Chain A
Amino acid sequence: MNELLRWMLNLPPQASSVARHIDYLHYSVILATFAGVTACAVAAVYFVVRYRRRGNELTPHVVAPGWLEATVITGLLALFVMWWLIGFHQYRELETAPPDAMPIYVTAKQWMWKFQYPSGPSSTDVLTVPVGQPVKLIMTSRDVIHSFYVPAFRIKQDVVPGRATTVWFQAETAGTYDIMCTQYCGTRHSFMRGQVVALPPDDYARWLDAAEPDHFAGKGQGQGLVARGREVAAEHGCRRCHSLDGTPSIGPTWLGSFGRVRQLVSGGAVTIDEDYITESMMDPRAKVALGFKPVMPSFEGKLAPADVAAIVELIRSLRDATPPREELPPRD
């Protein structure tokens, strides 16, 4: 049944962990659409035949009974809200990466995709991933908005300059799947295609060993992103205010910060993740940590996306260390 409907609706293979469930909802919505439209058509044909004009007679004044209108409205609303609930439940699943997802950094530019692995290798337009493991893409754009779309995985996420957006997936079957850009991005938008190559775990490990080391960031060849992050942090003076070992300083320490919840000056709190770190580099005054002064300059346009990724990866690598003591200075 699944295969038949998938074929009839011209859907791509269901190659990710979420695809099948999304397609089931798809089938129910489309089948209900056909049922509804057919019901309208049958009613229309019946009325046209049954009540065809036989002369210029008068017709009875008919008003829809309230109960009938209420039933139709309630019934449809119940159906729609049910789809909405299921759809939103699935949407949350699509939007929330599992904590153990393997990060890969993605930079989109007119008109290509670049993928960088934390351990060093990078590639253009071909994303190699292991089957059966969740992969989280941390994406940003160097120029205009692009959108990362893998039809076979039923995932899509806009890639926005100046922001980090994330999308995750878990490939279920080994194979090669198309990546397409779905956000119109200029003259060669339709040529901005790539491929996901999903390999069995053993093959993936072998591929990773043999993969060319980094030639992505230009500088710092042959090293992992974390090492590159240390260099970038030194180059741009990050460490004048942010310590790596928990020493209190002008800005919050990076040690053990990733994944923690931080109170903000403006009230509220934020979980420190890729989005927050990227935003804080680009627009430092948007969410200032409680106890610190808004003195950090913006690095918008000063840091290449690959360098941003390197900083994020460095901060992530320090996540499991416990800071020596609570870093919040006393409020004054």
Chain B
Amino acid sequence: MIDYLRAPSGIRSWLGSIDHKRIALMYLVAVTIALVLGGAFAMLMRTKLLISGPGIMQPLTYNRLFTWHGVTMVFMFMIPAIPAVFGNFMLPIMVGAKDLAFPRINLASFYVYCAGAALALWGMIHGGADTGWTFYSPYSTASPTDVAPIAIAIFILGVSSIMTGLNFIATTHMLRVKGMRWMDLPLFVWAIYATSVIQVIATPVLGLSVTLVAMDHALHMGMFDPTLGGDPVLFQHLFWFYSHPAVYIMILPAMGVITELAPTFARKNVLSYKAIAFSSLGIAFVGFLTWGHHMFVAGISQLDAAIFGVMSMFVAIFSAIKVFTWLGTLYKGSIALTAPMLYFFTFIYLFAFGGMTGIAVATTSLDVHWHDTYFVIAHFHFIMIGGTLTAFLAAIHYWFPKMFGRMYPEKWAVLSAVGVFVGFNLTFVPQFLLGNAGMPRRYYSYPDRYHVLNVCSTLGAYLLGSVMVFTLAYLIVALFKGKRATANPWGSRGFEWRVPSPPPTENFEAPLDLRLGCYEYDRE
């Protein structure tokens, strides 16, 4: 059988393809562009922060940059990255299906994403928003910049996200190969499923709130503007009702990737299948009840603060169960220290640190000091970069042979993994200390006592950026020059490794054989 890469060729066979694998690759190209762009904005910001006073750019330019960085990274990279690329590619194969339940909706979601991304870029080129990715009103209504295009772009990107989520939910329910029970599913599918539930339930509220902001800005409707009878704090509730669950949209798929790595490279069953599966659902549902922890100093009642605080602690417990299970999976295993496995350890280390600092900021009295300082910036970058981006890199290396039929260069990949770890820590550990010292976020200029740590952070960011460019370069080379991969180079029991690399368009030549489970390593 001909593999999906070589099947019909020509540009139209790609752009109009309804094959989930080709759509996944198109998404991969798109989110990589978004990552490069968002990274470039970050480098410019960090460069500005090398000096404490006015420097290479005006304050308004800096404010635009952190807005664009946030919008690009959150809505164009983090949210689609793992689900729309690796979920899209792997989920149908993992459930033994030929494709997603709605292949045309899958293709449409990609073009909706492109339309949203294009509108956002157009908005940025035309002077873009300077409100931060949080669009807090009434500043977003009063902003001198043009907020509407980017707000509408986020609405459109949200539609794409809902379409993808619906497709994954339908596929998991309806297209599992005959005989596959829920408890036979690979845990990556559980993670993507839980993510999809959040995408479908929460994203409409984001659409609602950015639409209201756009209408406030353009039509002076006054929903959130107190001089017109509106309530600015209402916006924060609506915004975080989506945007806190959204961080689970970003981290749950990453957790799914990490769960797949340990069994493969330790040749070992997952220590507790149910703990991983149900903690994903637990995060998805309890995650809806924590949004107010972004608002401890916004003027909410003490009772609200208490409830949102303790709910946040419960979410952390689900994450702690996962960390415990991942590490426990290695016990009595047979561990190969490959590049994806180095990313696995990087993830655990950074995620544990990021998660624990999440507990710290959920502790109400401590959050009063840390809220809106660099401590919070460091905390969520530990989760988003240390967690999601690390898992994204792990996934691209782990599944590279499956997706492209070629191996990546192992030595370079190990070097890159070490570089990511060092560069990341150098960038974000100083930011914890800056936050402790009280440096507010979104700060164009800062008092001189924060200077040394800012320079450290910028140097770390340069290192991290260089490593990312290096990684992108050797992966592109490997696409064409890499050694041919076998169907199962890692000796994994995962279902996706039972089809050829790269898989044929229809995925399976014969129906998926379920006699050996995807985490069974105690028998042949």
* A38-76 near B? 1/0 per residue, CB < 8 Å: 001101100110011111111111111000010011001
Which chain A positions have C-beta within 8 A of B229?
283, 298, 300
Known contacts being A81-B313, A149-B440, is A26 close to B142, with CB within 8 Å?
A: no
Decide yes or no whether B436 CB sits under 8 A from chain A.
yes
Q: Nearest chain-A residue to B350 (Cβ)?
A: A37
Instruction: Report which residue of A11, A44, A152, A301 has the largest number of chain B beta carbons within 10 angstroms of its beta carbon.
Output: A44
Of B138, B144, B437, which is within 8 A of A11 by CB?
Answer: B437
* A76 lies within 8 A of B320 (CB): yes
Bound-state Cα–Cα, A77 to B312, Å = 11
Q: Nearest chain-A residue to B345 (Cβ)?
A: A44
* A84 lies within 8 A of B362 (CB): yes
Which chain A positions have C-beta within 8 A of B136?
144-145, 183-184
Decide yes or no whether A91 CB sits under 8 A from chain B.
yes
Which chain B positions have C-beta within 8 A of A185?
139
Known contacts being A9-B433, A22-B369, A88-B364, is A72 close to B442, with CB within 8 Å?
A: no
* B368 lies within 8 A of A60 (CB): no
Question: How many residues from A make CB contacts under 8 Å with B?
Answer: 88
* B317 lies within 8 A of A73 (CB): yes
Of A29, A44, A193, which is within 8 A of B327 by CB?
Answer: A44
Which chain B positions have C-beta within 8 A of A11?
436-437
Decide yes or no whether B1 CB sits under 8 A from chain A.
no
Question: Shortest beta-carbon distance, A284 to chain B, in Å?
Answer: 12
Known contacts being A40-B349, A187-B60, A300-B227, is A182 close to B372, with CB within 8 Å?
A: yes
Decide yes or no whether B419 CB sits under 8 A from chain A.
no
Decide yes or no whether B180 CB sits under 8 A from chain A.
no
Interface hit among A157-165, A197-205, A261-269? A157-165
* A87 lies within 8 A of B366 (CB): yes
* A186 lies within 8 A of B139 (CB): yes
Question: Shortest beta-carbon distance, B188 to chain A, in Å?
Answer: 20
Decide yes or no whether A181 CB sits under 8 A from chain B.
yes
Which chain B positions have C-beta within 8 A of A36?
352, 356
* B330 lies within 8 A of A51 (CB): yes
Interface hit among B10-18, B238-246, B264-272, B395-403? B264-272
Instruction: Report which residue of B232, B336, B446 has the largest number of chain A beta carbons within 10 angstroms of its beta carbon.
Output: B232
* B309 lies within 8 A of A63 (CB): no
* B130 lies within 8 A of A91 (CB): no
* B313 lies within 8 A of A84 (CB): yes
* B302 lies within 8 A of A10 (CB): no
Known contacts being A40-B352, A154-B369, A300-B227, is A80 close to B330, with CB within 8 Å?
A: no
* B309 lies within 8 A of A151 (CB): no
* A91 lies within 8 A of B438 (CB): no
Bound-state Cα–Cα, A143 to B302, Å = 26
Known contacts being A51-B335, A189-B444, is A58 close to B522, with CB within 8 Å?
A: yes
Decide yes or no whether A207 CB sits under 8 A from chain B.
no
Known contacts being A59-B333, A72-B320, A145-B139, is A43 close to B226, with CB within 8 Å?
A: no
Of A47, A61, A73, which is within 8 A of B335 by CB?
Answer: A47
* A144 lies within 8 A of B271 (CB): no
Which chain B positions have C-beta within 8 A of A58?
267, 521-524
Which residues A260-312 have CB closer than 8 A to chain B?
282-283, 298, 300-301
* A84 lies within 8 A of B310 (CB): yes
Which chain B positions have C-beta within 8 A of A12?
437-438
Which residues B321-338 have CB closer than 8 A to chain A?
321, 323-325, 327-328, 330-337
Which chain B positions have C-beta within 8 A of A163?
226, 233, 299
Decide yes or no whether B353 CB sits under 8 A from chain A.
yes
Known contacts being A26-B366, A84-B363, A300-B226, is A54 close to B443, with CB within 8 Å?
A: no
Bound-state Cα–Cα, A43 to B262, Å = 14
* B59 lies within 8 A of A92 (CB): no
Bound-state Cα–Cα, A192 to B178, Å = 64
Question: Shortest beta-carbon distance, A197 to chain B, in Å?
Answer: 17
Decide yes or no whether A190 CB sits under 8 A from chain B.
yes
Which chain A positions have C-beta within 8 A of B328?
62, 64
Bound-state Cα–Cα, A84 to B267, Å = 39
Question: Shortest beta-carbon distance, A271 to chain B, in Å?
Answer: 13
Of B333, B360, B444, B446, which is within 8 A of A47 by CB?
Answer: B333
Interface of chain A, helix or strand or loop or mixed? mixed
* A64 lies within 8 A of B271 (CB): yes
Which chain B positions have C-beta within 8 A of A182?
371-373, 440-441
* B25-61 near A? 1/0 per residue, CB < 8 Å: 0000000000000000000000000000000000110
Which chain B positions have C-beta within 8 A of A147?
297, 371-372
* A184 lies within 8 A of B268 (CB): no
* A83 lies within 8 A of B327 (CB): no
Question: Shortest beta-carbon distance, A50 to chain B, in Å?
Answer: 9
Decide yes or no whether A223 CB sits under 8 A from chain B.
no
Decide yes or no whether B100 CB sits under 8 A from chain A.
no
Question: Shortest beta-carbon distance, B290 to chain A, in Å?
Answer: 13
Bound-state Cα–Cα, A245 to B451, Å = 58
Of B233, B353, B357, which is within 8 A of A160 by CB?
Answer: B233
Question: Shortest beta-carbon distance, A255 to chain B, in Å?
Answer: 29
Which chain A positions have C-beta within 8 A of B446?
190
Decide yes or no whether B414 CB sits under 8 A from chain A.
no
* A51 lies within 8 A of B441 (CB): no
Bound-state Cα–Cα, A44 to B143, Å = 49
Which chain B positions have C-beta within 8 A of A157?
297, 299
Bound-state Cα–Cα, A6 to B349, Å = 24
Which chain B positions have C-beta within 8 A of A241?
none
* B349 lies within 8 A of A41 (CB): yes
Decide yes or no whether B520 CB sits under 8 A from chain A.
yes
Decide yes or no whether A321 CB sits under 8 A from chain B.
no
Q: Nearest chain-A residue to B52 (Cβ)?
A: A190
Q: Nearest chain-B residue to A162 (Cβ)?
A: B226
Q: Nearest chain-B residue to A10 (Cβ)?
A: B433
Q: Nearest chain-B residue to A29 (Cβ)?
A: B360
Question: Shortest beta-carbon distance, B157 to chain A, in Å?
Answer: 22
Decide yes or no whether A320 CB sits under 8 A from chain B.
no
Bound-state Cα–Cα, A69 to B352, Å = 17
Of B227, B231, B321, which is within 8 A of A73 by CB?
Answer: B321
* A301 lies within 8 A of B522 (CB): no
Q: Nearest chain-B residue to A77 (Cβ)?
A: B317
Q: Nearest chain-B residue to A65 (Cβ)?
A: B272
Decide yes or no whether A30 CB sits under 8 A from chain B.
yes
Bound-state Cα–Cα, A269 to B72, Å = 47
Q: Nearest chain-A residue to B359 (Cβ)?
A: A80
Which chain A positions have C-beta within 8 A of B523?
58
Known contacts being A91-B364, A282-B226, is A69 close to B299, with CB within 8 Å?
A: no
Of B59, B317, B337, B365, which is within 8 A of A88 by CB?
Answer: B365
B contact residues vs A (CB 8 Å cutoff)? 59-60, 63, 130-132, 136, 138-139, 142-144, 226-227, 229, 231-233, 266-269, 271-272, 275, 296-299, 302, 305-306, 309-310, 313, 316-317, 320-321, 323-325, 327-328, 330-337, 345, 348-349, 352-353, 356-357, 359-360, 362-369, 371-373, 433-434, 436-438, 440-447, 453, 491, 520-524
A contact residues vs B (CB 8 Å cutoff)? 9-12, 22, 25-26, 29-30, 32-33, 36-37, 40-41, 43-44, 47-48, 51-64, 69, 72-73, 76-77, 80-81, 83-84, 86-95, 143-145, 147, 149, 151-152, 154-158, 160-163, 165, 178, 180-191, 193, 282-283, 298, 300-301
- Given A86-B365, A145-B232, 11 new contacts (CB under 8 A): A37-B356, A47-B333, A51-B331, A73-B317, A84-B363, A151-B438, A178-B447, A184-B372, A186-B63, A190-B59, A300-B229
> Can you report 8 A-B residue pairs in the complex whose CB atoms are below 8 A from each other?
A25-B363, A29-B356, A51-B333, A62-B269, A73-B320, A76-B316, A184-B63, A187-B60
